[in-house]
Amino acid sequence: MESFIEPVAAFFGPSWPLVWSLVKIIGIIAPLFLCVAYLTLAERKVIGYMQVRIGPNRVGPRGLLQPIADGVKLLLKEVIVPSGANKGLFILGPVLALGPALAAWAVVPFSDGWVIGNVDAGLLFLLAITSIEVYGVIIAAWASNSKYAFLGGMRAAAQMVSYEIAMGFALVCVLMISSSLNLTSIVESQGKGQWAEWGFGFLSWNWLPLFPMFIVYLISGIAETNRAPFDVVEGESEIVAGHMVEYSGMAFALFFLGEYANMILISALTSILFLGGWLSPVGFLPDSFVWLALKTSFILFLFLWFRATFPRFRYDHIMRLGWKVFIPLTLFWVVVVAVWVMSPLSIWK
Amino acid sequence: MDFQSVVFYFFSTVLVLASLCVITARNPVHAALFLVLAFFSASGIWMLLRAEFLAIALVMVYVGAVMVLFLFVVMMLDINIERIRQGFWSYLPVGALIGILMVVEMSIVLGGKYFGLDAMPAPGDVEEGYSNTKELGRLLYTEYVYPFELASIVLLVAMIAAVALTLRKRKNVKVIDPAAQVAVKRDDRVRIVSMPAEKD
């Protein structure tokens, strides 16, 4: 690998760091889009089988080319800008919906050392980036100049801001016990302890000591990505499709891509923060990227499973769960963990 | 001019232009969005100073939370620009006076001997293992712990006051208790009545 890179680096000269970063970015974004495409197929197939249907099976062998066909269809459709819409912001909306979902991957480690930016404040960066995701939704909603879109956007803004707080507190617990904001060291700190030495690595991961926070983070993640059963943002039976109602063609596809990229991001983060990232669950198997992929796929399967199982929450129930259940619970648990870490009973020394 | 200076001047230009647009934009939603851009540029400048915690906290708090609620309110208001502009000329003398005063005060502060490139040089290279967040936390909870706790109490009082000022108890409000709704059993809602079949 080194002998291959060096002549290329010499060819680009001083602009090499820029080129190398671009190569790494494409190396993450391109597989991510492929995952997004096949996640849509997986969703339709999984929900299909859960409802005793077959799901898409016409395009390609066993329907495997369906996401490609969908993509081509959306690309060829006309993007209609409503006459009363604020044109610039109407275009900016979908861009801002997808942008943060991709930017967050800059600090996500895939394996030991496999990360674009191994920044010290990685967790903070993630919190900041995910907190600006809501702009895409509310800008799109306002710029569409439509009542349905606007109502959807208001709901979305309220829901995403509420659940962000609970997610933030759950992350505070994680960073307290690993005493680092760097995602790589958070993963590494989960591989230490008595259980890991005995070969039962999966018992030393954060999900066990922080079990309530793990559940809160997972549920808040579903609410944050506006997935069922928290999908009142789109609520097709009440407000048609929420903020996306005026969008067509590729502009709509960007929202769609953003939602699925966010799902993958939240799943990967849950795996990294609570399920030990690329660490192997048992002592006799090596740590590798495969474990992270498996864990992420499992969380993604949970997303699809929940969608097929639960009916949509009523809006006041969503707000109650966020503000009156999750935020007090996480606040209390932050104090409990802080005392635990400082007490002689601490298991993270 | 090295790379850092280019980045600095880029962020500063965007920051100044965006701030100008905040006060000149005719549409209040555009003004709020320009303010978001201004916060982003300011955070970029802080990042250049290696104050990564402050830079990210600025984005997280102001862009991620405060401005979202701002936009939320501004989008729902029905603002008539013409009516707001009516008193422009009569308010101009007072406004201009305050503006000039602020410019003078800021130039005194920035032009003084305690501020400037000699008094505050650019941060040098940091050693391995240095964490901006950790240092900041250590300072806040040791050297500056009293001012820090005092500030948090002031914020708490402001928060409670804001809630207390806007809280109004309405009579006859049709509030529902979701916990009671969730805990409901079939027997509470359904009554099975046995009736003899009707015969002709």
| Reported ipTM | 0.80
Same domain, B4 and B55: yes
Q: What pLDDT score was predicted for residue A12?
A: 74
- Tell me: do B38 and B96 sit in the same domain: no
d(CA B50, CA B124): 9
In angstroms, the separation between the Cα of residue A29 and the nearest Cα of chain B is: 23
Contact A128 B59 (CB under 8 A): yes
In a domain, B172, yes or no: no
- B106 with B39, same domain: the answer is no
Q: Between residues B49 and A240, which one has the greater pLDDT? A: B49
Residue B118 pLDDT grade (very low, low, confident, very high; cuts 50, 70, 90)? low
A119 contacts B69? CB cut-off 8 A: no
A6 pLDDT tier (thresholds 50, 70, 90): confident
Task: Establish if B182 belongs to a structural domain.
Answer: no
Q: Which of A156-165, A223-232, A235-244, A330-339 has the lowest mean pLDDT?
A: A235-244
Q: Which residue among A121, A139, A150 sits closest to B56, beta carbon to beta carbon?
A: A121
Q: Which of A127, A157, A320 is closest, CB to CB, to B60?
A: A127
Average the pLDDT over A330-349 and give the result.
86
Tell me the CA distances in angstroms from B32 to A87, A159, A169, B63, one per residue in order. 17, 21, 28, 10
Q: For A79-91, how does the pLDDT look when each residue is reduced to its tens digit (9 = 90+)? A: 888 887 788 888 8
Model confidence band, residue B107 (pLDDT cutoffs 50, 70, 90): confident
Do residue B117 and residue B141 come from a single domain?
A: no
Q: How close are the terminal C-alpha atoms of chain A, in Å? A: 38
How many Å apart are CA A243 and CA A137, to the nearest integer? 6
Same domain, B104 and B136: no
Q: Are residue B10 and residue B73 in the same domain, yes or no?
A: yes
Least trusted range by pLDDT, from A2-16, A207-221, A308-322, B62-76: A2-16
Neighbour-count burial of A213, counting CB atoms closer than 10 A to its CB (0-12 exposed, 13-18 middle, 19+ buried): buried
Domain containing residue B60: CATH number: 1.20.120.1200
Residue B22 in domain: yes
Tell me the chain B residues in contact with residue A157 when contact means C-beta distances shorter than 8 Å: 68, 71-72
Burial class (CB in 10 A: 0-12, 13-18, 19+), A195: middle
Chain B residues in contact with A132 by the CB 8 A cut-off are 59, 63-64
Mean pLDDT (whole number) for A300-322: 87
Same domain flag for B112 and B150: no
Mutate to test the interface with A, among B34, B36, B56 (most CBs of A within 10 A): B56
Chain A: closest CA distance from residue B140 (Å):
17
pTM score of the predicted model: 0.85
Q: What is the pLDDT, as a whole number, of residue B128?
A: 67
**Is residue B146 domain-shared with residue B99, that is, in the same domain?**
no
Q: Is the pLDDT of residue B157 over 90?
A: yes
pLDDT, residue B145, reads 92
Residue B159 belongs to some domain of the structure: yes
Write out chain B residues lying below 8 Å of A119, CB-based. Answer: 52
**Chain A interface includes B136 (CB < 8 A):** no
Q: What is the mean pLDDT of residues A283-305?
A: 87
Q: Based on the domain organization, do B6 and B39 belong to the same domain? A: yes
- Option in B36, B52, B63 nearest A120 (CB): B52
Exposure string over A72-111, b if 16+ CB within 10 A, otherwise e: eebeeeeeebbeebbeebbbbbbebbbbbbbbbbbbbbbb
pLDDT of residue A199: 76
In a domain, B9, yes or no: yes
User: Of A124, A132, A138, which has the smallest distance from its Cβ to B53's Cβ?
Assistant: A124
Rounded Cα gap, residues A194 and A348, in angstroms = 10
Same domain, B37 and B73: yes
- For residue range A22-51, list pLDDT tens digits in order: 888 888 889 888 899 899 999 999 999 999
Identify whether B54 is part of a domain: yes
pLDDT band at A346 (very low <50, low <70, confident <90, very high): confident
pLDDT of residue B159: 92
The helix or strand, by DSSP H or E, that contains position A318, with its residue range, turns out to be helix A315-320
Closest Cα in chain B, distance from residue A270 (Å): 20
Give residue B157's domain range: 132-166
SS3 A8: helix
pLDDT band at A3 (very low <50, low <70, confident <90, very high): low
Please write the tens of the pLDDT for every residue from A154-202. 888 888 888 888 888 998 898 888 888 888 888 888 888 777 777 777 7
Q: How far is CA A63 from the centre of its chain?
A: 26
Q: Do A132 and B59 touch (CB under 8 A)?
A: yes
The answer on B72 and B1 residing in a single domain is: yes
Residues of A in contact with B29 (CB under 8 A): 89, 142
Best B66, B72, B135, B184 member to test A by mutation, with max A CBs in 10 Å, is B72
**Mean of the pLDDT values across residues B21-46?**
88
Please give, rounded to a whole number of angstroms, the shortest distance from the CA of A276 to a CA of chain B. Answer: 23
B81 falls in which pLDDT band (50, 70, 90)? Answer: low
- Quick one: average pLDDT of B112-130? 67
The chain A residue lying nearest B131, using CA atoms, is: A120
The answer to whether residue B190 is domain-embedded is: no
CA distance A179 to A339: 14
Query: Which residue of B30, B68, B71 to mutate against A (max A Cβ within 10 Å)?
Result: B68
Greater model confidence, B145 or A317:
B145
Residue B59 lies in a domain: yes
Tens digit of each residue's pLDDT (9 = 90 or more) over A96-133: 888 888 888 888 888 887 778 777 788 888 888 888 88
Is the Cβ of B176 closer than 8 Å to some Cβ of chain A? yes
